Structure 1
Amino acid sequence: MEQLAGIADRLPLATQIHPDPRSGTSEDLEDAIRDLTRHFTYLAHTVATRDRQARRYPARYTAQLRESTTALAHAATPAGRALAALGEAVTATGHLHHLTHSPPGPGHAEDLQHTLIALDGHVTQARTQLFAAARQLRADAHRLLTTQTPPASAALTTLPVLAASSSHRGHGR
């Protein structure tokens, strides 16, 4: 979840997108797409692997594994939408490249401005979807952690929890 939010944070803001080829926008998009593709592949691979495990070893496939697999699968939709938006951003960057390396003609300034606005819209959409995927994963992780069944022996969990609470109180308060 942090990696998806990190990709969103590294995407260029509207104030950082310029027609100047040295702005680095295309390199930023390339890096984001590479990172997002790696994470998207991880989501798909994990869901497929766990599906195979569930079929091969049904007795070992716990409710917690099933729930965490479902949580990862839910994150694929906004991650895929972010990847699609970044694809549109690459198309806009290609058009921007064409405009900046062509002699200006009638309507050049308007086309340039329109392309910059479209590029910013696609990057903003990708950022929004990445944050949505991260929020979804965070919410699912929180839900999974709070619904886990406690271990059989309460005596084993009481001591570490109390020790952790005592040490936390001693720091910074």
Structure 2
Amino acid sequence: MSSHHIVRENQEPAMIVASYDALDEEHMGQLLEWSPTVIANDDTIDFFLAADIKVDAVFSTKEETYQQEQIKNLPIQQEFLPDALNYLIRNNHKAVNIVCNALDEVLEAYCTLINIVVLSHGRRYVYVRHRYEKWKEVGARVFVSESRLKSLVGLKRISSHEFLTEQDGFIYLEFNTNEYVCIGEEI
């Protein structure tokens, strides 16, 4: 990192890893590049320790000491994701990347408290309100619940909840709800 980059604490999105094999090595490396706060669980801690990647906290069902001295071992109160999100919110984190096998409905309850991006098996999901716009290349797939759509521009429906960009350029989605809507894209 060059000297003109100053990274303030909690400036970079934290990282919750519920499944280390839900994201390929290249994308995992990109997320770890800026040394985010990393939270693991009993299923993922060994991956990080074997790869010598710094972990900040482990939510665990057992009391254990790890070779990395700075790791906080925290007991699971509810479930891993809610516990990890509550921990980040208490510690003033504004954003988090979550690596997991599938979207969890519990995430919607946290969207007003922390900016959430989910990465899972070649897809990136974001939670947005009211509208979504983004520049995409022709042929890019976008995943969104049709029941939440008020209008869309630049996309054509290819199957239930799956759309394809028609040309290079901006796509626009407008929603028929004030709730957060989950939008997925291929990475």
So what's the TM-score if we normalise by structure 1?
0.23
* Structure with the larger RCO, 1 or 2 (CA within 8 Å, 6+ apart): 1
Could you say which structure has the higher helix fraction?
1
Q: Given the two structures, how large is their TM-score scaled by the length of structure 2?
A: 0.22
Structure with more of its chain in strand, by fraction: 2
Larger radius of gyration: 1
